[in-house]
């Protein structure tokens, strides 16, 4: 039996580290006689896996009528498709729903479910019946149970644990996403009864004061359908927390049903919400946090950046780090929907996105990527009334290739050349962004909560993303993230922590920040000082510890200007001024009111900046840079010309990831921790291209590559020696050899057994010949 599992922040198969490169292929949108050709294109791209949705509405067009072997239609032959992919050497990621979305009718739920069981549907404001199921309604679960019995009869014997090729199985798809998109609070009687039970457990004897109603379920129904005071606002806040638990119960039920049908491989849940360059994505994290925390569940992201550049790549970095902070600690980052489409013919899309995005996420430690969707296709009317399913994927519906397809095999060659040394390397960071997930608990609203949600949206987008994350990324300070109510704040591992604050913050998190500073931490706070908990109880632990006597806040969305460090007239909003006993002042209004100060506390100190200032200009960026320097956080890299640089370190090698997001070529030297790397030689990057450069890479016991100024795209070894092919023709390299020689090299150092050499290559090849 072969096991696939997550451990120590990596994925493993049979005890060996595994980098999963998958492409999504919808067999139900391509004629069966073309399946082999499409799967062959995945192999040619260098991928080792295929993922697919398995549409319930396609395989069970009527209740009790299942076809998973193609007896009614060849494109329903799921068993044949899985066996074909396995026979071609591909691993499998199965995604059987019940929900799949994927531009299908009812998001993949058969119409007969709502036709025969209308009582399962969600009911929204205005008593509108939605074509969305109340997940936990017993009649809906009964239908799902019968679907799982049918589909797992095909999936179970094909798991890796039973000699097959299925590595993982995704349960449902984007749980809660439709409710967020439609702003849907469910007034289905079954959901209301569960909501009422949740509130009784959460509030106990206090419930009557919060909801003074004789019939709680009816009061909740009225509060959803026709929100009014006195509890219209906190009903929404309670519903959001309830729905976290509700989704966990649904996911647990799905997993128990799957296990009852023989599922042994890890379950996957995917996290939705990627819009506005990723700034909305943590809303999905908030919705699904209770599911993510289930022991053994693997979390996977859905990521659709649309474009990548110097102004947006920080958003992808923060999304990855926030996900890592919350996911199963044993797993690596995993994206089960990693944008591969959106590059329609003769469009304005960036074909370079797919390569640069992949490289950025690999540099962040992502070790499983499903490029979604890899193939165009066509819909049967049972799937969708729209026949064409063409979203600019790498492969057109006729099997021809779009231009961006070629980027995949090119990168795959590099990853294959570096092998396990790169897979096992980990990103190096120098600082930490602390965040509160509850600031993203804004997925549903009514008119009584919308204004507060708008304020939170502004603060997290402007401060958390475009001030802190962007400022740190552009100044070469790679960061990790910690969720403040769940994670540890250990000064030894987190000497400097950057936090966006708003008016609400629970007492435990406030105390954690105070204790962190007193223990010697350097804390940077940006935003407005917290004065209450999330249930609106007064709480000023942090404010009091920092010696703030009074804090005065401008009205939300009011424009202002500040003097910050040596910069004058800096545009700002959401400005807050402070009075108190401060050790330093670095930001003021023109009238001298304090907006930014430093306060020593115990063995540490806190820097407070009461404003929202996105890092849009060099002056804005310098504000973040000066904050970092003041708090003892120097940049990890210095470059003669700007490029995005990150470093991953491992026992068998380090890897320098360099991306040029600009439309012009870049040639730059790089210093790491104030020391020149790559022998001081410059690196040349064409426009919108990236490089992965090895450093101290132990190719084998006899060859260590100290650096190469270009990518290695192939390593071939035979009896005569080793041949390394490079991406660029001209390069510099230094190696230490034992039992090998390089004819074109200059000897730098020689011992009895080894020789350190420098090579100036000019023909995109480095040949090492055996000497014995």
Give pLDDT, residue 229.
Answer: 87
Paired strand residues for 17: 12
Task: Tell me how far apart the alpha carbons of residues 304 and 320 are, in angstroms, rounded to a whole number.
Answer: 13
Instruction: Note the pLDDT tens digit of each residue in 243-277.
Output: 999 999 999 999 999 999 999 999 999 999 999 99
Q: What is the pLDDT of residues 74-89, one digit of tens each?
A: 999 999 999 999 999 9
Six-digit token string for 406? 């070629």
Q: What is the pLDDT of residue 424?
A: 98
- Distance (Å) of CA 369 to CA 195, 373, 422, 614: 37, 12, 15, 31
CATH code, 638-770: 2.102.20.10
Tokens 């013919």: give the residue: 345
Choose among 367, 490, 497, 365: nearest CA to 430. Answer: 497
Q: Which helix (H) or strand (E) holds 637?
A: strand 637-639
- Cα(678)–Cα(733) distance, integer angstroms: 8
Phi and psi based region of residue 310 (left: phi greater than 0; alpha: psi -120 to 50; beta: remaining): alpha
User: 530 with 544: CB under 8 angstroms?
Assistant: no
Q: Using CA atoms, how far apart are residues 745 and 758, in angstroms rounded to an integer? A: 6
What average pLDDT is seen over the chain? Answer: 97
Q: Find, among 264, 282, 263, 257, the residue nearest to 272 by Cα.
A: 282
**What is residue 395's DSSP assignment?**
B
Q: How many residues does the chain have?
A: 772
- CB-CB contact of 54 with 78 (8 Å): yes
Q: Which two tokens stand for residue 378?
A: 């066509």
**pLDDT of amino acid 744:** 87
Distance from C-alpha of 726 to C-alpha of 713, rounded to nearest angstrom: 5
Tokens of 620: 């804005």
pLDDT at 126 over 90: no
Calpha distance 343→181 (Å, rounded):
25
pLDDT at residue number 230: 87
The two structure tokens encoding residue 38 = 């499409």
Residue 769's pLDDT band (cuts 50, 70, 90): very high
CA distances from 39 to 207, 340, 750 (A): 57, 16, 50
Supply the pLDDT for residue 649. 98
Model confidence band, residue 742 (pLDDT cutoffs 50, 70, 90)? very high
Whether 1 shows a pLDDT value over 90: the answer reads no
| Kind and range of the H or E run holding 142 | helix 138-155
pLDDT of residue 204: 96
Q: Find where tokens 């959401």 sit.
A: 574
Q: Is 769 exposed, middle or buried (0-12, 13-18, 19+ CB in 10 A)?
A: middle
Q: Does residue 451 carry a pLDDT above 80?
A: yes
Q: What is the DSSP letter of 654?
A: E
Is the CATH code 3.40.50.880 the one for domain 431-630? yes
Confidence of residue 530 (pLDDT cuts 50, 70, 90): very high
Mean pLDDT over 675-685 rounds to 97
Average pLDDT estimate for 516-538: 98
* φ, ψ of residue 403 in degrees (nearest 5): -60, -35
Residues in a beta bridge with 301: 271, 335
Contact by Cβ (8 Å): 109, 98:
yes
Q: Burial-class residue 494 by CB neighbours within 10 Å (0-12, 13-18, 19+).
A: buried
Q: What percentage of the chain has pLDDT greater than the value 90?
A: 98
Copy the structure tokens of residue 375. 């193939």
345's tokens: 């013919």
User: How many C-beta atoms lie closer than 10 Å to residue 84's C-beta?
Assistant: 17
pLDDT of residue 348: 86
Number of Cβ within a 10 Å radius of residue 225? 15
Give me the residue spans of the domains in the chain: 4-427, 431-630, 638-770
pLDDT for 440 equals: 98
Give the homologous superfamily in CATH for domain 4-427: Glycosidases (3.20.20.80)
Let me know if 553 is exposed, middle or buried by CB neighbors in 10 A (0-12, 13-18, 19+): middle
Mean pLDDT of 25-48: 98
- Which pLDDT score, from 0 to 100, does residue 23 have? 98
* 3-state DSSP assignment of residue 674: coil
């Amino acid at each position: 039996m072969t096991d696939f599992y997550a451990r120590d922040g990596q994925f493993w198969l049979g005890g060996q580290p595994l980098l999963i490169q998958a492409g999504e292929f919808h067999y139900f949108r391509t004629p069966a006689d073309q399946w082999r050709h499409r799967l062959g294109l995945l192999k040619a791209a260098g991928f080792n896996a295929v993922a697919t949705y398995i549409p319930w509405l396609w395989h069970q067009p009527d209740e009790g009528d299942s076809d998973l072997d193609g007896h009614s239609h060849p494109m329903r032959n799921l068993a044949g498709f899985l066996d074909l992919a396995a026979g071609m050497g591909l691993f499998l990621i199965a995604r059987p729903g019940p929900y799949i979305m994927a531009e299908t009718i009812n998001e993949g739920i058969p119409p007969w479910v709502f036709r025969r069981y209308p009582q399962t549907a969600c009911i929204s404001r205005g008593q509108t019946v939605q074509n969305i199921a109340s997940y936990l309604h017993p009649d809906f679960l009964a239908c799902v149970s019968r679907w799982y019995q049918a589909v797992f009869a095909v999936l179970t014997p094909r798991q890796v644990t039973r000699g097959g090729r299925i590595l993982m199985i995704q349960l449902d798809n984007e749980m809660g996403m439709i409710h967020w998109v439609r702003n849907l609070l469910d007034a289905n009687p079954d959901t209301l009864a569960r909501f009422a039970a949740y509130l009784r457990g959460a509030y106990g004897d206090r419930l009557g004061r919060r909801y003074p109603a004789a019939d709680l379920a009816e009061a909740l129904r009225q509060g959803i359908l026709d929100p009014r005071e006195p509890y219209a606002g906190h009903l929404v806040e309670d519903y959001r927390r309830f729905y976290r638990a509700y989704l966990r119960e649904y996911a647990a039920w799905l997993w128990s049903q799957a296990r009852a049908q023989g599922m042994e491989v890890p379950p996957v849940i995917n996290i939705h919400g990627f819009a506005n360059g990723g700034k909305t994505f943590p809303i999905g994290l908030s919705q699904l946090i209770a599911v993510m925390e289930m022991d053994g569940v693997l979390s996977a992201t859905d990521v659709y950046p649309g474009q990548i550049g110097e102004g947006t790549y920080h958003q992808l970095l923060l999304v990855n780090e926030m996900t890592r902070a919350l996911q199963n600690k044993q797993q690596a980052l995993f994206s089960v929907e990693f944008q591969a489409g959106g590059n329609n013919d003769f469009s304005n899309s960036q074909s370079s996105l797919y390569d640069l995005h992949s490289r950025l996420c690999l540099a962040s430690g992502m070790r499983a990527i499903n490029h979604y969707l890899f193939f165009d296709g066509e819909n049967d009317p049972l799937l969708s009334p729209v026949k064409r399913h063409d979203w600019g994927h790498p492969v057109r519906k006729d099997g021809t290739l779009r231009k961006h397809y070629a980027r995949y095999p090119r990168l795959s060659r590099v990853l294959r050349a570096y092998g396990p040394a790169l897979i096992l390397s980990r990103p190096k960071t120098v600082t930490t962004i602390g965040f509160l997930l509850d600031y993203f608990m804004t997925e549903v609203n009514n008119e009584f909560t919308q204004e507060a949600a708008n304020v939170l949206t502004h603060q997290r987008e402007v401060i958390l993303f475009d001030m802190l994350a962007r400022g740190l990324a552009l100044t070469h300070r790679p960061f990790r993230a910690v969720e403040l109510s769940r994670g540890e704040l250990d000064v030894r591992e987190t000497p400097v922590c950057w936090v966006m604050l708003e008016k609400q913050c629970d007492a435990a998190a406030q105390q954690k920040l105070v204790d962190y500073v007193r223990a010697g931490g350097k804390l940077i706070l940006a935003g407005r000082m917290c004065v209450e908990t999330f249930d609106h109880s007064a709480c000023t632990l942090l404010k009091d510890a920092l010696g703030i006597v009074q804090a005065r806040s401008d009205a939300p969305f009011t424009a202002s200007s500040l003097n910050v460090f040596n910069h004058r007239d800096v545009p700002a909003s959401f400005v807050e001024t402070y009075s108190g006993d401060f050790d330093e002042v670095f930001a003021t209004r023109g009238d001298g009111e304090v907006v930014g100060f430093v306060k020593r506390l115990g063995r540490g100190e806190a820097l407070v900046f009461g404003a929202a200032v996105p890092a849009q200009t060099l002056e804005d960026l310098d504000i973040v840079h000066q904050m970092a320097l003041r708090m003892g956080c120097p940049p990890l890299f210095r470059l003669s010309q700007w490029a995005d640089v990150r470093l991953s370190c491992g026992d068998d090698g380090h890897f320098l990831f360099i991306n040029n997001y600009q439309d012009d070529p870049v040639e730059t030297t790089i210093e790491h921790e104030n020391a020149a790397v790559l022998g001081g030689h410059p690196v040349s990057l064409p426009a919108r291209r990236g490089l992965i450069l090895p450093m101290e890479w132990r190719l084998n016991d006899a060859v260590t590559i100290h650096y190469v100024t270009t990518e290695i795209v192939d390593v071939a070894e035979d009896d005569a020696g080793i041949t390394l092919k490079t991406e660029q023709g001209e390069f510099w390299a230094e190696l230490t050899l034992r039992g090998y020689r390089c004819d074109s090299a200059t000897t730098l150092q020689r011992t009895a057994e080894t020789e350190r050499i420098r090579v100036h290559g000019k023909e995109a090849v480095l040949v090492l010949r055996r000497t014995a």
